[in-house]
Amino acid sequence: MTLPDAIIQMAIKKVISKSNEKIDFDSLISNIGSIHDVDKKLVIRITDMKVATGLGIQDGKMIELEKVDKPDTVFSMDKNSFSAIILNKLDHRQAFFLGAIEADGENWIRDGVLLGKVFDKIREVMGTKK
């Protein structure tokens, strides 16, 4: 089931408005190494939306994607994949292996952990968290 564009846009706006706290990168990836002094710029781009839509993480907070200069990692997916992940039909890690998510960036594997946390937050706000 693919969510309509309007629902995806509403979900993104809702998660951003409810995500005022910074994401604690150190606790998320402490087993990989400390990145507390890095300005992380992670972008989730939905490729087949009629309007430019996506999420970014900048300075530890979620932002609506308008333009993020020089992102560390860009995760691209279509709205079918995005919908399946937030509706718990597909895990983001499975989506990588199935080729449903494309990653571009030097540390995309490490940033994949952060991507999982972003999807957790979206599911929590949308009421679809397991």
Give me the domain span that covers residue 18.
Answer: 5-126
Give 31-45 pLDDT, tens digit per residue.
444 444 445 677 888
The answer to whether 105 and 114 are in contact (CB under 8 A) is: no
Any idea how long the chain is? 130
Q: Is the pTM for the entire model greater than 0.85? A: no
CA atoms within 13 A on the CB side of 69: 2
CATH number of the domain where residue 100 is located: 3.30.1050.10
Give 88-122 pLDDT, tens digit per residue.
999 999 999 999 999 998 888 878 887 888 888 88
Range ranked top by mean pLDDT from 15-19, 54-58, 92-96: 92-96
Q: Which residue has the tokens 């846009």?
A: 9
Domain count, the chain: 1
CA atoms within 13 A on the CB side of 63: 16
Candidates 25, 40, 46; CA nearest to 102 is 46
